[in-house]
Amino acid sequence: MPTVQVTDLKDGDFLLDVREDDEWRAGHAEGALHIPISDFVARYGELTEAAPQDGRVHVICRSGGRSAQVTMYLAQQGIDAVNVDGGMQVWQAAGRPVITDDGKPGVVL
């Protein structure tokens, strides 16, 4: 499965967060699209509308398991998707900003 490291991500890369609502509210990456894995198939159209036409979708969750499942699904649909290795735990550990919906500092659950 295609995988990238948090350190490989650049500002402006399209990020899809598939964690659940409570995890998202606690803290997320600024600019990420949030579609929980539990709603993913039903809300798939939101991704296709938001994702860059010829760009890559970087899929992230807490540690990499759920995002791996979504990455495999997207690849089967012909979308250029990669799993972010280590997820939001590694994101936060690498010093990347984690914010709440109101822009305040957040945490990774």
Query: Coil, strand or helix: which one is 84?
Result: strand
Residues 19-61 pLDDT 10s: 999 999 999 999 999 999 999 999 999 999 999 988 999 999 9
36-to-17, 24, 54, 57, 79 alpha-carbon distances in Å: 7, 9, 23, 15, 18
Residues 57-94 pLDDT 10s: 999 999 999 999 999 999 999 999 999 999 999 999 99
Query: Coil, strand or helix: which one is 12?
Result: coil
